[in-house]
Amino acid sequence: MNENKEFKPYVPAEKITPEFTVTSIVMGIILAVVFGAANAYLGLRVGMTVSASIPAAVISMGVIRVIMKKNSILESNMVQTIGSAGESLAAGAIFTMPALFLWANEGLCDKPSLVEITLIALCGGILGVLFMVPLRNALIVKEHATLLYPEGTACADVLLAGEEGGSNASTVFSGMGLAALFKFVVDGLKVIPADVAMAFKSFKGEIGMEVYPALLGVGYIVGPRISSYMFVGSLVGWMVIIPLICLFGPDISLYPAKAGITIAELYADGGAAAIWSTYVKYIGAGAIATGGLISLIKSLPLIITTFRDSMKSMKGSKNTSTARTAQDLPMGAIFAGIAAMVLIIWFVPAIPVNFLGALIIVIFGFFFATVSSRMVGMIGSSNNPVSGMAIATLLIATFAIKASGDTGIKGMTGAIAIGSVICIVAAIAGDTSQDLKTGFLLGATPKKQQIGELIGIVASGLAIGGVLYLLDAAWGYGTAEVPAPQAGLMKMIVEGIMGGNLPWTLVFVGVFLALGLEILRIPVMPFAIGLYLPIYLNATIMIGGVVRLLMDSRKHVDEKTKEAQATDGTLFCAGMIAGEGLVGIALAILAVAGVGLGLSVDFGNIGGVVLMAVMILCLLKFSVWNKKKKA
């Protein structure tokens, strides 16, 4: 295409500038571990993660340009390339691997070893990069004009607007610091309750909010539309389904309640939360699984044409250029790396995958990596149906393993291991594509970026096992602190296929509820996640969405100012998410060590409402009321 031949990156190919330096590698590794750990904590609490590319970019600019007085845009790009890998790897790992801990806590198997978790994370991450690299010339270069890669382009724009790097970086750090303080007050000192709840005893419904900065930040980032669907899902669960269950069946005991305990006794013991965790959660699980499959089925024509077009593009896109901006990792090294990863998955005893599992990983891994790489170019990473891909792989893997005669816990752990690798492959392939698009626009060296991705994966892969073990030791998965919603769903799917011991009536209620929503053209996944998660959590996300709605709806502010303020708000919220995640992990360390910091003072629900108001005011301070420095 002529447009591609005429395209000139910001840094010309013939110009050599600092890029793959000690500074960029060290900063990138730190951010990969920090954002990987923070996103792991967030995903296990909320069931979703947020992109780390732009926060990593502004932090790198703040340090490199303002503190170190260096002017190297490619160095800043390398930092965000390495740093963002941690977030994507964490997203893939936490959606599946905690299921192994849940089975261990039930006494069905031993806990996964640190070696097993690390190897699964590293193999999935490295395969995700290696599967994507041969597609770079076809997707990033040849289709530059047609595949926009929204997040990658936005990250390039942020780096190009580097004159404001210092003030933007301070916004991220302010969010981190304030969120760390708020989290410590709530969960460390415990002077303010984590939940502000209002129970309607006669009605049996309940509503409330969690006083956490990360949830407010998530709501602001995802916006009012998605957050409202999530909140409505919770309203249906907690203010419709739970009261109906208590109304129609107070004197009966339904599966999976403990034998002999009636619904009335269950409610008297644990309130609406007990009914939700015993019954409503399974309805939500059915809805989420259906939503994931619906998104995959709707994307199927696009997936098939995407894969076909990618293969065609690869055949006709032999890269003969020797320019710096056209250099990729050599194909020999890529094939050797893929072979090594597959052999490790197959032969290393720590990974519970046999030859059939390794074959499934190679076939589906390459297919979904190709699909993910192209789809994020068209519709962005946020709309990439990774969860649907993971569910589809898990279904196929579980049925295949069951057909081979492995029906016990060995087959179940093998299915989760396969799903984990595929989930990480798809997430990393999408992230790598966005980063390479940023590099293409800026004039980075692709080979150095690809090595940077691998460094970020190794750094965060070595850390993720420790994070998962730490959170399990501190609170345990499936608890209020770390509900691990996606992993719980994957566990239910595998158990349902292998043993058929799920409360299928409740699951099918969720399935048909999801189908009804799809017919009405209401987005299924956010609604289903709202039904599957506690209302307190989704209410706080909704508050963040309302703040964003009010900011975007102002009549007497020009669009450019609103956009700048919204960007500041997003960076502040990204900082809040990272800050809370890091303090959450620090508190987990203290909990494991047996150190208690709680004070005897408790300000009650009033204190929670006041702290939420303070968090909202801080968000407004760093967005709407943030005074811009003149260029």
The rounded distance, in Å, linking the Cα atoms of 131 and 128 is 5
pLDDT, residue 253, reads: 66
Q: Chain centroid to CA 533: how far?
A: 16
What is the SS3 string spanning 47-68?
Answer: CCCCCCHHHHHHHHHHHHHHHC
Inter-residue contact 436 to 152 (CB < 8 Å): yes
Closest CA to 236 of 615, 543, 517, 611: 517
Give per-10-residue mean pLDDT for the chain (631 aa).
63 89 93 91 82 82 77 88 91 90 91 94 96 86 83 84 63 91 92 89 91 92 91 96 90 61 87 89 87 79 73 62 83 91 92 90 88 78 69 86 87 93 92 93 94 96 94 90 87 85 85 96 89 90 95 88 88 90 91 82 89 96 70 34
pLDDT, residue 379, reads: 67
Question: What angle in degrees, to the nearest 10, is found between the helix axes of 73-94 and 446-474?
Answer: 40
First vs last Cα of the chain: how many Å apart? 37
pLDDT, residue 504, reads: 82
- In 334-444, where do the E strands start and end? none
Indicate the SS3 state at residue 385.
Answer: coil
For residue 449, the one-letter residue type is: Q
pLDDT, residue 254, reads: 61
Inter-residue contact 24 to 82 (CB < 8 Å): yes
Kindly report whether the peptide bond that precedes residue 485 is cis, defined as omega within 30 degrees of 0. no
For residue 488, the one-letter residue type is: G
Half-sphere exposure of 254 (CA within 13 A, CB side): 18
Q: Is 419 left (phi over 0), alpha (psi -120 to 50) or beta?
A: alpha
Question: What angle in degrees, to the nearest 10, is found between the helix axes of 213-236 and 559-593?
Answer: 90
pLDDT, residue 79, reads: 93
Buried b (16+ CB within 10 A) or exposed e, 56-83: bbbbbbbbbbeeeeeebbbbbbbbbbbb
How distant, in Å, are the alpha carbons of 25, 156, 157 from that of 441?
21, 7, 9
pLDDT, residue 479, reads: 86
Quick: pLDDT tens for 414-437: 999 999 999 999 999 999 999 999
pTM value surpassing 0.75? yes
Question: What angle in degrees, to the nearest 10, is found between the helix axes of 213-236 and 22-46?
Answer: 30
